[in-house]
Structures are given as C-alpha cells and as structure tokens.
Amino acid sequence: MIPPNGLPASIALLVQELRGLLRVELALARAEIEDGARGMAIGVALIALAGMLGFIGLVVLAGAVVLALHGYGFSWLHAAFITGGAALLIAALAAYVGIRRVKPQNLVPKRAMANLRADVHAAAEAPHVPPY
C-alpha cells in the first residue's frame, strides 16, 4: 500500500527520522563517555594524591615520629619501621580507592548502547510492508 504522500516522501521522512535518532543516540553516548571520563579523572587525582601523601608522609613526618617513638623507648630501627609502615598504609589506602575509580567500564556508554539495542530490536520487530 502506497502512502498518501507517495513513497519518495515516506522514504525521505524515514531517513530524516533515522538521522534524528542517530544524532540523539550519539549525544547520549558522548555525555556518558564524558561522565565516565570525569570519574576517571577523579581517580587519577586520587592516585596522584596517594603518591604525594606517601612521599610527604615518609619524608616530613617520619623524622618527627621516629624521634617521638625513640623517646618512648623504641629502638631507632623499630621506630623507623613503625613510622614508615603507617605512612605506606595510608598511601596504599588512597591508591586503592583511586584505582577502583579508574576502570575502563566507566567509559562505556551503557544507556546509549541499551537504547541502540532497543531501537534495532524495534526495527527488526516492525511489520514489513510487502512491495506493491
């Protein structure tokens, strides 16, 4: 059955609708990727913070803590190991949290892919018009 506006007009409308749908889906995918990238940037910043805190903790506070522990009766060696271990534990915790935020899965546009799958499924399920 030929539509009232004619087959060429219907094909032109279909192409126009498909362009609009593709444009919207691409915008959604771009927004999801940007959101994932922001999360990864925060993760990278936390990893950098972990490195700086680890370094600063070992350099600046180590001497003061070692002196304090030695003043409480620890040997110099034990005081240094306790101080270094505590600083490294804090740095490892910050690095762990940062690494968990930096995942490739955060860049996958999940909603856009789901919408695209639904669109393909809907197009496949659409009734086919037999040729005239």
Q: Say what the pLDDT of residue 18 is.
A: 81
Q: Say what the pLDDT of residue 96 is.
A: 92
For 33-72, the pLDDT digits (tens) are 888 888 888 888 999 999 888 788 768 777 888 899 999 9
User: Model pTM?
Assistant: 0.41
Average pLDDT over residues 82-110: 83
Q: 63 or 124, which is more confident?
A: 63
Contact 34, 106 (CB under 8 A): no
Q: Say what the pLDDT of residue 4 is.
A: 66
Q: Give the whole-angstrom CA distance, residue 54 versus residue 44.
A: 15
Q: List b or e across 6-35, with b for residues whose CB sees 16 or more CB atoms inside 10 angstroms.
A: eeeeeeeeeeeeeeeeeeebeebbeebeee
